[in-house]
Amino acid sequence: MATLSPFSSPFPLPNTSSKFQSPLRQPDLEQLEAQQHHLQPQQAAVEQVNDERLHGSSTKTPESGVSSNHVSGNHSATAYHVAFNQDYGCFAIGTDRGFGVFNCVPFCESFCRYFEHVGGIGIIEMLFRSNILAFVGRGDHPQYPRNKVMIWDDHQSRCISELCFRSEVRSIRLRKDCIVVVLEQKIYVYNFSNLKLLFQIETTANSKGLCEVSQNAGPLVLVCPGLQKGQVRVEHYASNKTKIIVAHDSMLACFALTREGNLLATASTKGTLIRIFNTLQGTLLQEVRRGLDRAEIHSVSFSSTAQLLAVSSDKGTVHVFSLKVNRGNLSANKSNCSSNSRAPVATSNSFSFIRGVLPKYFSSEWSVAKFRLPGVSQYIVTFGNEKNTLIILGWDGSFFRCKFDPASGKEMTQLEFHNFLKPQQPYNGKYG
């Protein structure tokens, strides 16, 4: 359980400046603004923890030692965490000196906050494009403990609430109506308006903090590891149904969820295959192959239409796969997708009579586009707003925007490169 420590009214009206507007629905804002009282332990449905650091000041002034300088200041910053927001239009970074938010297209810095007393931020999550963020400390000099989730209002330049746990926080997910906190073997879901505990889920060991939530205006769909190796647990809270999917024989390494929560892509620690499932029935719709040798999958991302899937790994490549999923009629299409997903048409026609004899990779579906990345950094990927474009972020500060042609199968073309840890460096048209 967690201890709740609101510093003032839990969530003020998010800032709606012209530069960084909040897309939250007006009823949500009214609900947040109306919540003016401090929560009692019983209301928050949490267990008290004897921790004096928990009780923050109720002051309404900005936190001391926070400046609007770039996170690196006059020194080189180290990125601890990089994450896209929920609509993939911008991204946030946590560094050894603070945090920052950047716009993707056009690439530009939205705002950065530098903690003058050297405060590391290890996990950071945006709430769409509002001024509300959530983060956790990290590093030799963390700004906040690793077992605390801090809710930051950038309009006030201070933390407005916190949740403290008995163990280290592994990840955070935000929706307009809830906060999801992931620990090593447990997940907590809180109401965003009053931080009341709604649900808790037990998982297998989850050091990566794997968890995804649907982001459309509909009911919550939450995906997390199950209690057994290779299992995925899908919670449909509207229907109060739980679906357990046996996705892999190995441990889970990464997964992604569509905005509606109806499609799930999973990868295991083996890193050779990515599988796409219908979350309601739990059926396998398609299977694509990244490669033949083992790899650590760093990120998986659906396109907005769920017709394409992007995957990044420690092999220094980003792959794009073509999907055969009919979003409008998943249940009717699942049998066709399952039968056709194992092999391209030419392979099926040529080798169907000896398919049982050939190694499985002969009937695998391979990527339709690829981009080779420099260095050994960890990268995450998403699709850009422009058709057939990708945005790739690296922990080394790399920002790539690339274009691909899924019909040709050729290497992607690099359109942009920037370093968000050193944004003063001009773009020269190519990496380096």
pLDDT tens digit sequence for 216-258? 988 999 999 999 999 999 999 999 999 999 999 999 999 999 9
What are the backbone angles phi and psi of residue 371, rounded to the nearest 5°? -135, 130
Give the list of residues 6+ apart from residue 26 with CB closer than 8 angstroms, or none. Answer: none
337 has pLDDT over 50: no
Find the helix or strand (DSSP H, E) in which 9 lies: none
Read off the pLDDT of residues 54-73 as tens digits, 9 standing for 90 and up.
333 333 455 656 666 554 44
Cβ–Cβ < 8 Å for 289, 366? yes
The better pLDDT of the pair 425, 289 is held by 289
The pLDDT value given to residue 334: 39
Q: How confident is the model at residue 424 (pLDDT cuts 50, 70, 90)?
A: low
- What pairs with residue 389 in β-bridges? 403
Give the list of residues 6+ apart from residue 290 with CB closer than 8 angstroms, or none. Answer: 267, 271, 272, 273, 274, 297, 311, 313, 319, 367
393 has pLDDT over 50: yes
Mean pLDDT in residue range 5-13: 40
Q: What percent of the chain has pLDDT over 90?
A: 61
Three-state secondary structure call for residue 266? strand
Inter-CA distances, 317 with 31, 135, 372, Å: 45, 29, 5
The pLDDT value given to residue 18: 31
Q: Judging by DSSP bridges, how do beta strands 212-213 and 197-202 pair with one another?
A: unpaired
Between CA 157 and CA 159 the distance in angstroms is 7
Between CA 366 and CA 375 the distance in angstroms is 24
The pLDDT value given to residue 328: 54
282 has pLDDT over 60: yes
Q: How confident is the model at residue 374 (pLDDT cuts 50, 70, 90)?
A: confident
First to last CA, the chain: 47
The pLDDT value given to residue 327: 55
Which token pair is 135?
A: 């983060």
